[in-house]
Amino acid sequence: MRTVEEYKEALYKMRPNIWIGDEKVGRDDWRIRGGINIIKTTYEYAHDPKYEDLCTATSHFTGEKINRFTNIHQNKEDLMKKQRMTRVLCHHVGGCIQRCMGIDALNALSVVTYECDEAFGTNYYDRFKEYMINFQKKDLAASCASTDAKGDRSKRPHEQENKGAYVHIVESRDDGIIVRGAKQCITNAPYVDEIVSVPCRYLTPEDNEFAVSFAIPADWEGVEILARPAWVHGVEECPEEFKCPTMELGDVEAFIIFDDVFIPKERVFLNGIEHPDATAYGGFLALLFAHYHRHSYTGCKPAISEILASACSLAAEYNNVEDAKHVQTKISHLIGTAELVFAAGESSALHSEKSPSGTQIPDEVLTNAGRRLAGENIYEEYKILADLTGGIMATLPYINSFTDTEIGKLGLKYMERNPRISSIDAVKIIKGIETLGCSDIGGVLQVAGLHGGGSPQMETIAMMGRYPQRDLKKIAKYLFGLKNRAPRFERSEDPVTPRMLLKRYRKAMKFKHNDK
Ligand SMILES: Cc1cc2nc3c(=O)[nH]c(=O)nc-3n(C[C@H](O)[C@H](O)[C@H](O)COP(=O)(O)OP(=O)(O)OC[C@H]3O[C@@H](n4cnc5c(N)ncnc54)[C@H](O)[C@@H]3O)c2cc1C
């Protein structure tokens, strides 16, 4: 497993292909540092004996010890440990741990490449396996580039006027493919080793050029990254006594342009031009990446609710109203959401299925129900934080006003509220809450809480696509006297395999069923 130093060393050697505004910068630019500091945690904890059980796993390919962020889940325990690891690490970085997208995409690829080979005799799984063994051995970090620019939302990829709205294959050759297009809203691309690209929606038979998946180093020739960094303001001027862990953290979102990029064959995991019949698997891959990512959300979102609940408790103590009934009710809402979302993820691991590739797939209904509950509540949670903290979270003066020799003492004097909390601690609490709720990075996290893993409607579609609604109706039919026999309905015992799901999808998308 890599050390933090090895991770950073590899980053700093990369070709500068990151644009911040009109500047082209390398990975050593200070505005990227916050994101690096978050990914760094995933390397540190894997080497810490206290977290070894959560943060490491055993490779089913090689039998070697690996970082859990490079693991292909083989059983229920793997899924649960991933969820628990995500929750714990998110607590420690005050939000998103940022390393799950890549491995979520790779888990999806492990299922889809195998299924595609079985159906069409392609050899994607062997390629994937070779790629994955190297990925685990080098302990690489990856982003997942799924979200395409998408252009006109009402049109399918092949109907778009600007074909580049979806990443597609321009040319398919014996030695590889050339791809063109852009992916948007991609977390962490400026500070990971690899970009794993997968489609972002269901595809129809006419969309075969868009059925493409590949993985390349993030500084690959022809790849340009338009970055949007977020960090905590005032860190540079912050006096030593006010420094805290959240000030070291940040996030960079990326708009990735693939400008006729050559991808060598060994890095291509789906090519809908070479194998048009396999196009359905592109859509299935989009669905499965989102699915694994939503399951990861059942680990990170409870952590974020808990971070907010923790901040609310501290704010209420500072305001000296901690025991007020409405305060406890509001905090209980945050805790309740965290527990329910986590329980949905745990339960979806418990009801998970083993795919023919050996990869474990979480239950779809439970995962989506949990993820949707988290998304629906996100702004309510920030509302509670703002409610219990008061306006100061949005109006706190700059920290160095409180240390200035002329005005500092007076400023601190008027920060006093609860006599048991010093003014310096009060400033620290409010600065922390400002970071969570009002900062640049806090704003990004709020939108991520809603849209990450797909817009809320996509969760509804995924959930209802899997839910046996016809069987559900039998309950009312019996109760209302339309049927004589009482049904035995236990949704989570309903065995709907991913293969059955794929069949259903292909029927809906009018694919010919000419495979096994
Ligand atoms: C902070 C952050 C980090 C992210 N990180 C990643 C990442 O690492 N990798 C990645 O791949 N993606 C990432 N995403 C992208 C995320 O998955 C998308 O934002 C999400 O899938 C929604 O897509 P969109 O933004 O294009 O919005 P849209 O899909 O355009 O949704 C906007 C609205 O339009 C509606 N809509 C869209 N299409 C239709 C239609 N055909 N018919 C009816 N209604 C429609 C939606 O329901 C929604 O209400 C990230 C997003 C955020 C905010």
CA dist 452 and 443 (Å) reads 13
**Which of the pair, 501 or 487, is modelled with greater confidence?**
487
The pLDDT assigned to 508 comes to 75
**φ, ψ at 218 (rounded to 5°):** -65, -15
Which pLDDT band, with edges at 50, 70 and 90, does 494 fall under? low
Neighbour tally for 89: CB within 10 Å? 27
Residue finishing a domain among 291, 311, 326 = 291
pLDDT at 391: 97
Ligand 1 center from residue 421 Cα (angstroms): 43
447 ligand 1 Cβ < 6 A: yes
Question: Smallest Cα–Cα separation from 198: which of 133, 107, 298?
Answer: 107
Q: How far is the CA of 237 from the centre of ligand 1 (A)?
A: 36
Residue 494 C-alpha to ligand 1 middle, in angstroms?
30
150 CB within 6 A, ligand 1: yes
pLDDT at residue number 250: 93
Among 250, 273, 291, the domain boundary falls at 291
Q: Output the domain CATH number for residue 213.
A: 2.40.110.10
**Whether residues 265 and 329 fall in one domain:** no
Residue at a domain's end among 428, 447, 464 = 464
Do both 287 and 305 map to the same domain?
no
* pLDDT recorded at residue 436: 95
Q: Which residue's CA is the nearest one to ligand 1's atom 12?
A: 147
Residue 447: what pLDDT?
95
Residue bearing the CA closest to ligand 1, atom 33:
455
Q: Do residue 194 and residue 279 come from a single domain? A: yes
Q: Do the domain assignments include residue 513?
A: no
Q: How far, in Å, CA of 475 to CA of 491, rounded? A: 12
User: What kind and span of H or E run contains 306?
Assistant: helix 279-318
Would you say residue 357 lies in a domain? no
Alpha carbon nearest to ligand 1 atom 52, residue: 448
Q: How far apart are CA 171 and CA 156, in angstroms?
A: 21
Is the model more confident about 438 or about 497?
438
From the CB of 42, is ligand 1 less than 6 Å away? no
309 Cβ contact partners less than 8 Å away, ≥ 6 residues apart? 331, 334, 335, 338
Question: Rounded to the nearest whole angstrom, what is the distance from the C-alpha of residue 149 to the centroid of ligand 1?
Answer: 10
- pLDDT, tens only, 212-248: 999 999 999 999 999 999 988 777 788 888 888 888 8
CA 391–ligand 1 middle distance (angstroms): 31
pLDDT of amino acid 513: 59
For residues 83 and 230, membership in a common domain is answered with yes
Q: For residue 361, how far is its CA from the centre of ligand 1 (angstroms)?
A: 23
The answer to whether the CB of 360 is under 6 A from ligand 1 is no
Question: Would 36 be classed as within a structural domain?
Answer: yes
Strands (DSSP E) contained in 99-232 are 142-145, 168-173, 176-187, 194-197, 212-217, 223-231
Q: Which of 98, 106, 109, 147 to mutate to test the pocket of ligand 1 (most atoms within 8 A of CB)?
A: 147
pLDDT at residue 410 in the model = 97
Whether 154 is in the pocket of ligand 1, judged by its Cβ within 6 Å, is yes
Together in a domain, 171 and 279: yes
Chain centroid offset of residue 5 CA: 25
Q: Which domain holds residue 408?
A: 294-347+362-464
Is the pLDDT at 496 greater than 90? The verdict is no
Q: Between 423-437 and 440-451, two packed helices, what is the crossing angle to 10 degrees?
A: 40
Which of 153, 289, 440 to probe ligand 1 with, by most ligand atoms within 8 A of CB?
A: 153
CB-ligand 1 contact for 143 (6 Å cutoff): yes
Q: For the chain, what is the domain count?
A: 2
Q: How confident is the model over 117-174, as pLDDT tens digits? A: 998 999 999 999 999 999 999 999 999 999 999 999 999 999 999 999 999 999 999 9
pLDDT at 122: 94
Asked if residue 265 lies in contact with residue 130, where contact means CB atoms within 8 angstroms, the answer is no
Contacts of 35 (CB under 8 A, 6+ apart): 98, 188, 190, 191, 229, 250, 251, 252
Q: Where are the alpha helices (DSSP H) in 15-99?
A: 33-46, 52-55, 76-93
Classify residue 507: in a domain, yes or no. Answer: no
Nearest Cα neighbor of 51 from 61, 60, 42 is 42
- Residue 112 — very low, low, confident or very high, per pLDDT cuts 50/70/90? very high
End-to-end CA distance of the chain: 40
pLDDT digits (tens, 9 = 90+) for 435-491: 999 999 999 999 999 998 888 899 999 888 888 888 999 999 999 999 999 999 988
177 DSSP β-pair partners: 172, 263
Look at ligand 1, atom 15, and give the residue with the nearest C-alpha: 185
**Does residue 487 lie in a domain region?**
no
The mean of the pLDDT values for the chain is 94
pLDDT of residue 514: 52
Q: List, in sequence order, every residue forming a beta bridge with 213; answer none if it has no partner.
A: 270
Mean pLDDT of 9-21: 98
Q: Does residue 475 lie in a domain region?
A: no
- Tell me the best of 204, 455, 457, 460 to mutate to test the pocket of ligand 1, counting ligand atoms within 8 Å of each CB and taking the most: 455
Rounded CA gap, 510 and 209, in Å? 17
375/212 Cα distance (integer angstroms) = 29
Question: In this structure, how many other beta carbons lie within 10 angstroms of the beta carbon of residue 170?
Answer: 16
Predicted confidence (pLDDT) per residue in 287-314, tens digit? 999 999 999 999 999 999 999 999 999 9
Q: Do 337 and 222 share a structural domain?
A: no
Cα–Cα distance for residue pair 8/36, rounded to 1 Å:
8
pLDDT at res. 365: 93
Q: Could you tell me which of 189, 171, 330 has the C-alpha nearest to residue 260?
A: 171
Residue 239 within a domain = yes
CB atoms near residue 490 (< 10 Å):
8
Please indicate, yes or no, whether residues 271 and 384 belong to a single structural domain of this protein: no
455 lines ligand 1 (CB under 6 A): yes
pLDDT at 515 over 90: no
Question: 29-74 pLDDT, tens per residue?
Answer: 999 999 999 999 999 999 999 999 999 999 999 999 999 999 999 9
Ligand 1 centroid – CA 328 distance (Å): 34
Within 10 angstroms of residue 348's Cβ, the number of other Cβ atoms is 29
Where residue 330 sits, what CATH number does that domain have? Answer: 1.20.140.10
Backbone φ/ψ region at 182: left (φ over 0), alpha (ψ -120 to 50), beta: beta
Does residue 516 surpass a pLDDT of 70? no
**Residues 374 and 387 grouped into a single domain:** yes
Give the residue whose CA is nearest to atom 9 of ligand 1: 186
Angle between helices 279-318 and 456-466 (to 10 degrees): 120
What is the Å distance from ligand 1's center to 95 Cα? Answer: 20
| Ligand 1 neighbour 195 (Cβ under 6 A) | no
Do both 298 and 281 map to the same domain?
Answer: no
Q: Is the pLDDT of residue 109 over 90?
A: yes
Ligand 1 atom at minimal distance to the Cα of residue 147: 11
Mutate to test the pocket of ligand 1, among 372, 451, 461 (most ligand atoms within 8 A of CB): 451
Q: In sequence order, which residues have a C-beta less than 8 Å from that of residue 188 and are 6 or more positions away?
A: 35, 39, 98, 99, 101, 141, 143, 251, 252, 254
Q: Is 187 helix (H, G, I), strand (E, B) or coil?
A: strand
Residue 98 Cβ inside 6 Å of ligand 1? The answer reads: no
| Domain match, 171 and 307 both | no
Ligand 1 centroid distance, CA of 32 (Å): 24
Q: Is residue 100 located within the same domain as residue 229?
A: yes
The protein residue with its alpha carbon nearest to ligand 1, atom 29, reads 455
pTM to 2 decimals? Answer: 0.95
Nearest ligand 1 atom, CA 144: 9
Position 333 in a domain: yes
Å from CA of 193 to ligand 1 middle: 24
Whether residues 308 and 165 fall in one domain:
no
